[in-house]
Amino acid sequence: ELTDKTKPPVLLVRGPGLNIITNTSSTYNGNYSHSGGTGMLLFDSDEDQVVVGGDSRVYLPSIQIQKPTGKSLTVDTKNGWLGVRAQSGGGDILVKSGIFSGPTNRLDWSSYGSTFKQTGDGVITNMENTYVNAASWCPSIGIRVPIARLRHDNNLASGSGNGLQILDGYTCTVTRLVTTYRGYLKGNAGKALLDVKGDFEVGGYCDGGYCPIRFSGDKVQHYSNPSNRVQSSRDWEVAKSGGRLVLDTDLDISRNGTPKLTFT
């Protein structure tokens, strides 16, 4: 665990790889907001690097990929899982340059105020089948590649200030399933968008939010909100090239403000 009471320590990782063998007796129930410490692992060498895990419970603190063009950091862990989780003020995943070949199965990413962001020349690959689980206060996401599943579960508290933020300038595309379980789903109108190409499920503890949402693609998609929770005060758009959008339960977006439901 990287700890420093005065400032976040940075560990420069410049060798040919980082081999992580986790504690096989550790457990994780999906609700922890810390595990990897408060430091940062900075991958900036001109060598291809690999994160290797001895089992599926691999927890890192904040990581930053800032490598030359074409050079990669590859996650090669058992079952294709990776956890990035730190104490308050850490747990970021920042892809600034080079290639982040992410976990192919599941990314557990959850720390207070943490960010999963792709900027500049940063490239993210191998996550088209990945389940991304954001589970803590106020995480934010800004990536330019599709993911298979997105779940946000603000397990510590609810309210308008807590939940998952789609960052300005980004469209978060999810191809199979979006689950908003607990907390808000946030995004500024005209600047951020959640593009849903699969199903959309609203859990029993969701507190709505204000993120613009678009249903697109040519699949048959299902919307489900069995607890009839408050949904969204931002605009919803149906922009499909085929298939159907099926409402398995009522859709109510009118209780927070004056949104639009547009068919294009």
pLDDT digits (tens, 9 = 90+) for 180-194: 887 788 888 889 999
pLDDT value of position 8: 55
Rounded alpha-carbon distances, angstroms, from residue 30 to 8, 35, 107, 186 = 25, 12, 12, 22
Whole-model pTM: value is 0.87
Encode burial over 196-212: b for 16+ CB neighbours within 10 A, e otherwise. bbbbbbbbeebbbbbbb
Whether 131 has a pLDDT exceeding 90, the answer reads yes
pLDDT one-digit tens code per residue, 86-123: 765 678 999 999 999 999 999 988 777 889 999 999 99
pLDDT one-digit tens code per residue, 230-252: 666 678 899 999 999 999 998 87
- 76 class by beta-carbon count within 10 Å (0-12 exposed, 13-18 middle, 19+ buried): middle
DSSP 209-235: EE--EEEEESS-EEEE-TT-----SS-
Mean pLDDT over 66-95 rounds to 85
User: Closest by alpha carbon to 35, among 133, 96, 108?
Assistant: 108
Q: Are 130 and 103 in contact (CB under 8 A)?
A: yes
User: In 10 A of CB 137, how many CB atoms?
Assistant: 20
- Tokens in use for 150? 């997105």
Highest mean pLDDT among 18-27, 52-61, 221-230: 221-230
Whether 202 has a pLDDT exceeding 70, the answer reads yes
Whether 125 has a pLDDT exceeding 80, the answer reads yes
pLDDT value of position 17: 63
Whether 32 has a pLDDT exceeding 50, the answer reads no
pLDDT value of position 27: 44
Whether 28 has a pLDDT exceeding 50, the answer reads no
- The sign of the dihedral angle between the CA atoms of 159, 170, 32, 87 is negative
β-partners of residue 10 are 40
**Among 17-26, 124-133, 230-239, 248-257, the least confident range:** 17-26
User: In 10 A of CB 52, how many CB atoms?
Assistant: 15
The mean predicted confidence, pLDDT, of the chain is 81
**Among 19-23, 218-222, 236-240, the least confident range:** 19-23
Rounded alpha-carbon distances, angstroms, from residue 87 to 27, 40, 84, 90, 220 = 17, 12, 11, 6, 40
Q: What percent of the chain has pLDDT over 90?
A: 41
* Spatial distance between the Cα atoms of 213 and 231, rounded to a whole number of angstroms: 11
Mean pLDDT over 138-157 rounds to 86
Q: Are 232 and 256 in contact (CB under 8 A)?
A: yes
Whether 75 has a pLDDT exceeding 60, the answer reads yes
* Spatial distance between the Cα atoms of 117 and 170, rounded to a whole number of angstroms: 10
DSSP 123-157: EEES-TTPEEEE-SSS-EEE-SS-EEEEEEE--S-
More confident residue, 188 or 155: 188
pLDDT value of position 5: 45
Q: What SS3 class is residue 80?
A: helix
pLDDT value of position 247: 95
pLDDT value of position 139: 86
What is the helix (H) or strand (E) element at residue 204, kind and residue range?
Answer: strand 199-210
β-partners of residue 247 are 223
pLDDT value of position 137: 76
- The sign of the dihedral angle between the CA atoms of 264, 144, 74, 82 is negative
Amino acid at 27: T
